[in-house]
Copies of this chain bind each other. A is one copy, B any other.
Amino acid sequence: MTVETIDAFHFGKFYVVQPATGGHRSGMDAMLLAAMVAGDGKLKVADLGAGAGAAGLAVASRLQQAEVTLVERSPDMAAFARKSIALAENAHVASRVCVIEADVTLRGKARVAAGLEDEVFDHVIMNPPFNAAADRRTPDALKADAHAMTEGLFESWIRTAGAMLKPGGELSLIARPESIADVIAACGQRFGGLQVTLIHPRDGEPAIRMLVSAVKGSRARLVFRAPFIMHEEGHHFSSFVDNLNNGRAAYARLGRKRSAR
């Protein structure tokens, strides 16, 4: 018997069914990633490595016309994603969210055959599984394994994102800060206009996460935006990060055209 939980996000605007232990349980990383999607209308969004669907559902919940495709390789996690979509509480998003059970690292015709088509998405988001794996490793094992592992991971995931996005489409990801060189290398000639936001737990402490936004085909240079400081004054979230986490605000790219409303 799989023990599962049903967790509320965005103050109960939507719910996610996920395994109580093991697998990857979603939290703030997924919500910050989802906040990076901004725009109006029938925005087509893909969530690569979607797990139980938290980030993708957060996008569909906040952007009421967005159409979201959850891509997940693990049959178990894809099943949780389908359960999440089927919850009565998620009826307002269910018709706009679908699941594709496929390996993000597929290439060429195999990728298209799995349902990950070329140039149909406006925005691709990803929270690669390295984060969870790395947190369970010792620092020494991390040093030995992490580089080779993540180098290939970002290269293959970002290559797939580049294929699936329309020209000018946006990629958003959340990752550990030490991955920055691998992320930049994987963006290569496919993406430009990288905007990096470092997330520091408290004032004066090193960054623990980074948000990276990029635009397919852009040649604009890399920018480090103002950082996020998550906790101020004894563990209260700063109000802006709190708003992002709870679906009350989007974190749009710098220089992005404002929408009509």
Task: Spell out A's residues near B (CB within 8 Å).
Answer: 142-143, 146, 177-178, 180-181, 184-185, 198, 200, 203-207, 210, 219-227, 254
CB of B181 within 8 A of CB of A223, answer: no
Which residues in B have their C-beta under 8 angstroms from that of A146?
221
Copies in the complex: 2
Of B178, B207, B227, the residue contacting A221 (CB under 8 A) is B178
| Cβ of A222 to closest chain B Cβ, rounded Å | 4
Show 24 residue pairs from A and B whose CB-CB distance is below 8 angstroms, ordered by the A residue: A142-B221, A143-B221, A177-B222, A177-B223, A177-B224, A178-B221, A180-B180, A180-B181, A180-B222, A181-B181, A181-B185, A198-B198, A198-B224, A198-B227, A200-B226, A203-B226, A204-B226, A205-B226, A206-B223, A206-B226, A207-B224, A207-B225, A210-B224, A227-B227
Which residues in B have their C-beta under 8 angstroms from that of A203?
226
Which residues in B have their C-beta under 8 angstroms from that of A178?
221-223
In Å, the complex CA distance between A210 and B227 comes to: 14
CB of B206 within 8 A of CB of A254, answer: yes
- Which residue in chain B gives the minimum CB-CB distance to A254? B206
Beyond the given pairs A200-B227, A206-B224, 12 more chain A to chain B contacts, judged by CB atoms under 8 angstroms and listed by A's residue number, are A143-B219, A143-B220, A177-B222, A177-B224, A178-B221, A178-B222, A181-B181, A181-B184, A198-B227, A204-B226, A207-B224, A207-B225
In Å, the complex CA distance between A184 and B182 comes to: 10
In Å, the complex CA distance between A191 and B143 comes to: 14
| Cβ of A238 to closest chain B Cβ, rounded Å | 12
| Cβ of A147 to closest chain B Cβ, rounded Å | 8
Of B184, B206, B207, the residue contacting A180 (CB under 8 A) is B184
In Å, the complex CA distance between A188 and B123 comes to: 33
Which residues in B have their C-beta under 8 angstroms from that of A220?
143
| Cβ of A257 to closest chain B Cβ, rounded Å | 18
Which residues in B have their C-beta under 8 angstroms from that of A143?
219-221
| Cβ of A114 to closest chain B Cβ, rounded Å | 31
Which residues in B have their C-beta under 8 angstroms from that of A227?
198, 200, 227
- Which residue in chain B gives the minimum CB-CB distance to A225? B206
- Which residue in chain B gives the minimum CB-CB distance to A197? B206
- Name which of A203, A220, A225, A227 has the most chain B CB atoms within 10 A of its CB: A227
| Cβ of A89 to closest chain B Cβ, rounded Å | 36
